[in-house]
Amino acid sequence: MRRLACSLLGVTPLVLASPALAQDLRADSPLWTYDAEPNEALFPRSFHDADTFGCLHTIRTGIYRRTSTESSWTDYWRLDNYGVFHCAIVFGEGDDPEEADEAFSDYAWVVELDTITEQNGIETELLALQIGVRSGSEYVLLRRRKGVMERLELLAPECPPDAERRTATIDVWRQDVCVVTSQDQLRAMARVAHGRPAVGQLEFAPPSPEDGTTEEE
């Protein structure tokens, strides 16, 4: 089965090392929910059969190493399974795997946006990481070869002319937000970003044998 169950001067390394990723994509309310109808694009989602139940994922859950194509900068993301009754990803960031393993920023979900058939016949999936609910959601655009569970490329979106862009600066802290208002708008942004080189990647980082942990699917 393809799916799996289960600061210098206040400026973040992301802004310092990768300006292409500095702009945030945000929506005042989550664009993908389960409110109206079952949403086949949103993961994790619940499943059950005669023998078992749980949450179905479209990526491998755990710790990911995030690298930039523009520098030697590296950090780690926690994309962990929340539980089996309420389906979500536990999202956090850290400078090393141990810090990331304890980090929590918000809950997140992966959205399958589109599938692109390349000229060589290979299928590429465009994805978004939807982070947060209560105060709206932030979006990170991703892509991968279809079916790959442990490696994702980070895309650099550009705010389209018809979208609202919010900017502000206080000393060294800067806001640069593109407000996304619909699923179709985010899908279109992902397709445009797919036409440009990736600016980074996320690779699953298996637990070290020294930490004594075991993996469960």
The rounded distance, in Å, linking the Cα atoms of 23 and 46 is 32
Q: Of all helices (H) and strands (E), which one includes residue 155?
A: none
The rounded distance, in Å, linking the Cα atoms of 51 and 41 is 25
Whether 158 contacts 4, CB under 8 Å: no
The rounded distance, in Å, linking the Cα atoms of 143 and 119 is 16
Strand 200-204 and strand 42-43: pairing?
unpaired
* pLDDT 10s digits, 152-208: 999 999 999 999 999 999 999 999 999 999 999 999 999 999 999 999 999 999 887
Average pLDDT over residues 18-39: 75
From first CA to last CA, the distance across the chain in angstroms is 11
Give the DSSP letter of residue 4. E
* pLDDT 10s digits, 59-104: 999 999 999 998 888 999 999 999 888 899 999 999 999 999 999 9
Give the DSSP letter of residue 8. B
